A and B are shown apart, each in its own frame.
Chain A
Amino acid sequence: MAIISPSTAEIVRQSGAVPGAEYLLEVSNVRKAFPGVLALDDVSFRLKRGHVHALMGENGAGKSTLMKIIAGIYTPDSGSFKLKGQEIKLTSPLDALQYGIAMIHQELNLMDYMTVAENIWIRREPLNALGFVRHEEMRRRTRELFQRLDIPLDPETEVRDLSVANRQMVEIAKAVSYDSDILIMDEPTSALTDREVEHLFRIIRALKAQGTGIIYITHKMNELFEIADEVSVFRDGRFIGEYKAADVSRDEIIKLMVGREITQMFPKEVAPIGGVALSVRDLCLEGRFHGVSFDLRKGEILGVAGLVGSGRSNVAETLFGVTPATSGAILIDGKESAITNPGVAMDAGMAFLTEDRKASGCFLLLDIMANMQIALLRHGHATAGFVNERKIEALCQQQKNRLRVRTPDLEEPIINLSGGNQQKVLIARWLLTRPRILILDEPTRGIDVGAKAEIHKLITELAVQGVAVFMISSELPEVLGMSDRILVMHEGRMTGIVDRKDATQVRIMELASQ
């Protein structure tokens, strides 16, 4: 069959005389290898018009690679690619857009110093006769788009002033603005709270009604059953099967994904609760939060809930000295300490897993070893400045095995790992420092169920060993399942601390929106 050009496809698309193929997209027998890894092995995938097709699989199962092939970012080594029954060949993301395939990336790809409107219409700016950008028209189109999607943002805001959740909404609006036939969403909800997720689902349902086919990657089971029509499961770069969402159960999917059964999602063990490890009195960071007070005991997991932007992450950053408090007191083992920078916090036995892996966690250019050992270097392990490589390598190897980081070796650049494995490396970084107080900000964001269960188990184990855990999470089941007590925040203040036995989703949501 002749390969049609993007411009021909575009003309056909605009004329509305869309060929009546049953499937919008049919990808078959795709293979893609990367240095050291066979990412996709003979994978097939089909998408129907007006359907939401979910892709499920653990980290490194090949979902993201397949999506990047469909979006024209990667070229497959072999396999066929049919769009509405026509064989095509994508050579770039731009190509894919012209064929009507748009993608919302897992990592945000917006330009910080440009406005929302400029970001959305980049490369497609309305121009006047002289080739200048018509800003007024661009604003009008943005407002129109936002109205359609019910997004309450000002088109003139610079993206750097937006919260992560709002940036995600801009990304979604941008992808929708292409009016594409196929929309790929790679974990669109990982930065969103429940309310925003609902909003996104309304948008998705409207798009479905227009006949758009949506490919939806997620790690969250409840989303799958709420929004998806079909599910394709992947494991280790192979296609396991396609199922109707209505016909399969949550447990069946998990089993298909991991190839084994996960018996317990939140393996909460009763840990002996010891003395107060961390005590916070009336902590305040001007303009961010105020009046935060709590005690955290050895062996206790204190969950922290609240909407994105409620000041949860700011509290964590202040506890660790990234943004020192403007007033209030932090007492460690009963002694007041001035936590003025992260070094002081580390010396006091704290560790801090940050929310944003890419921005404040990984050294993306460096290898796994360098990423893992960096916090440890503060605690000795060097003679006259010379790092004891052999000893540290042994320690890193140990952590790698303990956390089951999937990599051929420790010299692999961390950028080549999947999100879940990167997270494991960062957790290993902090475990190496043997912390007594562990601050976790979204420890399982963007991580598959298998790895998630492993991390939950690990957190519980640490608590049993007497580590005090401060755990922020946007996922209510996680907070409810893991915590001994739950601290809830709303708009920069603490609205309550709920005991495990009294905690329900409803109670927490009430406090979080009070």
Chain B
Amino acid sequence: MATDISTAAPASEARQARRRRLPPELSILAVMIGMMLLFEVLGWMFVGQSFIANPLRLRIMILQEAEIGIIAVGVTQVIIMGGIDLSSGSVVGMTAMVAASLAQVAGYTHAVYPSLTGLNPIFPVAAGLVCGSVAGLINGSLIALTKIPPFIATLGMMVSARGVADWYTNGQPIGNLSDSFAAIGAGWWPVIIFLGVAFIFHIALRYTRYGKFTYAIGANPLAARVSGINVERHVILVYMVAGLLSGLSGIVHTARAISGQAGVGVGFELDAIAAAVIGGTSLSGGVGRMTGTVIGAVILGILTSGFTFLNVDAHYQEIIKGGVIVAAVVADQYRQRRRKGV
């Protein structure tokens, strides 16, 4: 028998194997910590106070990214599967209206549904989740059954769902929401919900058939089909999950704002995609991890609150944020090329 190549260079191979087993999120985690330290130093230089040692700021930083983060959990799965979801922001707006309309305080006479006030918060939550899932179902069915590109299908949903949100009350905001509903968005709840769904889908992606099929379809849909995977059904399922999570984000947002507004969530889809991509999810599919997305969302949060803390003009903030997103992808590509040894 010919000598096995693995015996050719055992020492270097073991070293390589060890390096390969380091989770790829480590580098992005290092970026996150580096960024926090940078803001810490800049804080002492220009503002005269600490960036990190301020629990209130940290909480606001995480809170404002929790809604984006919940969406990003769904969007990450869609992107791993080789798709894209542009409709999340509009679905947030649509579910915000639907959920709010069923969450108004008992006896409020100007309610959207005067006979449906003072309901248990379970009802608005359920309605919001169903609403998001239906949007996802439509996205997924269009993509799986008519084979139109996901970009187009979800672009259509982006426009239509925003239309539904505006049409629902003719653009009027929905106020007077019950305290029990508002409690969902109070305190640390949004963060707990975000980390909860991230954990659930982290496990689902890594250890279940659902996850393995998602990666397989993203890596090679044809081979997935030949391997006996019902590709159409799985695509619909994953878009439904993404829609459901957008709906959840809409509910959290409405509860936090204690009001339903048709215009909320504009641009959320892009922030969510950015969080996934910064976290190492490849837009060409087949590659990505939930832990990366969580770190990606936190990085976006650090940027926003860091710049606010340093009193940087909002316009500059956006300019720099764009640069960071691109830099993250460039760094990731470079790292992957090096790993392949080319």
- Is A386 within 8 A of B8, CB to CB? no
Per the 8 Å Cβ criterion, residues 183-222 of A in contact with B are: none
Q: Which of B6, B209, B286 has the most chain A CB atoms closer than 10 A to its own CB?
A: B209
A263 interfacial contact with B, CB 8 Å: no
A363 lies within 8 A of B220 (CB): yes
How many positions in chain A have a CB within 8 Å of any CB in the partner chain? Answer: 53
- The answer to whether A342 touches B208 (Cβ under 8 A) is no
Does B227 make an interface contact (CB < 8 A)?
A: yes
Q: A341 and B20: CB pair below 8 A?
A: no
Instruction: Contact check, B216 vs A408: say whether CB atoms are below 8 A apart.
Output: no
Which of B9, B286, B287 interacts with A38 by CB under 8 Å? Answer: B9
Give the residues in chain B near A322, CB-CB below 8 Å. 225-226
User: Which chain A residues lie closer than 8 Å to B329 at the CB level?
Assistant: none
> Which positions 33-67 of chain A face chain B at CB distance < 8 Å?
33-38, 41, 58, 60
Give Cα distance in the complex from A359 to B3, angstroms.
Answer: 31
Chain A nearest Cβ from B210, distance in angstroms: 6
Q: Tell me, yes or no, whether A429 is within 8 Å of chain B by CB.
A: yes
Contact with B along A364-385 (1 / 0, CB 8 A): 1110001001110110001001
In contact, A386 and B207 (Cβ under 8 angstroms): yes
- B residues near A429, Cβ cutoff 8 Å: 227
Decide if A511 is an interface residue (CB 8 Å cutoff): no
Partner of B207, one of A33, A366, A389: A389
Least CB distance, B307 to chain A, in whole angstroms: 35
Is B341 in contact with A34, judged by CB distance below 8 angstroms? yes
Q: Which residues from B are CB-within-8-Å of A406? A: 4-6
Residue of B with least CB distance to A322: B226
Contact, CB under 8 Å: A364 / B17: no
Check B226 against A360 for contact (C-beta < 8 Å).
Answer: yes
Once bound together, how far apart are the Cα atoms of A450 and B220, in whole Å? 29
CB distance from B230 to the nearest CB of A (A): 6
Give which listed residue, B17, B212, B285, contacts A408 with CB less than 8 A.
B17
Q: Main SS of the interface on chain B?
A: helix
B2 touches A236 (CB 8 A): yes
| Measured CA separation A58–B4 after assembly (Å) | 12
Contact residues in B for A343 (Cβ distance below 8 Å): 228-230
Tell me, yes or no, whether A346 is within 8 Å of chain B by CB: yes
Interface residues of B in 61-91 (CB under 8 A from A): none
Q: Which residues of B have CB within 8 Å of A415? A: 340
The residue that A374 contacts in the complex, of B2, B12, B216, with Cβ under 8 A, is B216
| Interface residue ranges of B202-255 to A (CB < 8 Å) | 204, 207-210, 212-213, 215-216, 218-220, 222-230
Q: A360-B226, A382-B209, A429-B227 given as contacts; is B216 within 8 A of A370 (CB)?
A: yes
Could you tell me if B3 and A236 are in contact, using CB atoms closer than 8 angstroms? Answer: yes
Using a Cβ–Cβ cut-off of 8 Å, how many residues does chain B contribute to the interface with A? 43
Q: Chain B: which residue is nearest A374 at the CB level?
A: B227
> Is B22 at the interface (CB under 8 A from chain A)?
no
Within 8 Å by CB of A378, from B8, B225, B228, B339, lies B228
Complex CA–CA separation, A60 to B340 (angstroms): 16
Q: B26 within 8 Å of A by Cβ?
A: no
Q: CA A366 – CA B288 in complex, angstroms?
A: 11
Is the beta-carbon distance between B228 and A364 smaller than 8 angstroms?
no
A431: min CB distance to chain B, Å: 14
Q: Which of B209, B220, B282, B341 contacts A35 (CB 8 A)?
A: B341
Q: A365-B286, A366-B219, A387-B207 are in contact. Are A373 and B212 (CB under 8 A)?
A: yes
> For the complex, what is the distance from the CA of A320 to the CA of B222, rounded to whole Å?
13
Nearest CB on A from B334, distance (A): 16
Query: Would you call A259 and B5 a contact (CB within 8 A)?
Result: no
Complex CA–CA separation, A366 to B218 (angstroms)? 10
Give the chain A neighbours of B215 by CB distance below 8 A.
363, 366, 370
Contacts A236-B8, A374-B229, A387-B208 given: A58-B2 contact, CB under 8 Å? Answer: yes
**Smallest Cβ distance from B200 to chain A, in angstroms?**
12
Contacts A343-B228, A363-B223, A377-B209; A450 near B2 (Cβ below 8 A)? yes
Per-residue interface assignment for chain A, residues 341 to 362, with 1 indicating a CB less than 8 Å from any chain B CB and 0 otherwise = 1110110000010100001111
Q: How far is the CB of A302 from chain B (nearest CB, A)?
A: 20
A window 395-430: CB within 8 A of B: 406-409, 411, 415-416, 429
* Residues B212 and A236 in contact, CB atoms below 8 Å apart: no
Question: A416 to B287, alpha carbons, bound, how many Å?
Answer: 16
Asked whether, in the complex, the Cβ of B9 is within 8 Å of the Cβ of A364, the reply is no
Known: A341-B230, A382-B209. A258 touches B2 (CB 8 A): yes
Q: List 23 A-B contacts (CB under 8 A).
A: A33-B12, A36-B13, A37-B8, A37-B9, A37-B13, A38-B5, A38-B9, A236-B2, A236-B3, A237-B8, A320-B226, A342-B228, A361-B223, A363-B216, A363-B220, A365-B285, A370-B215, A370-B216, A374-B229, A385-B209, A385-B210, A409-B17, A416-B340
Other than A365-B286, A366-B216, A382-B209, give 5 A-B pairs with Cβ distance below 8 A. A259-B2, A361-B223, A370-B215, A377-B212, A406-B5
The 4 closest A-B pairs by CB, nearest first: A363-B219, A365-B286, A34-B341, A346-B228
B interface, CB within 8 angstroms of A: 1-6, 8-9, 12-13, 16-17, 20-21, 204, 207-210, 212-213, 215-216, 218-220, 222-230, 282, 285-287, 339-342
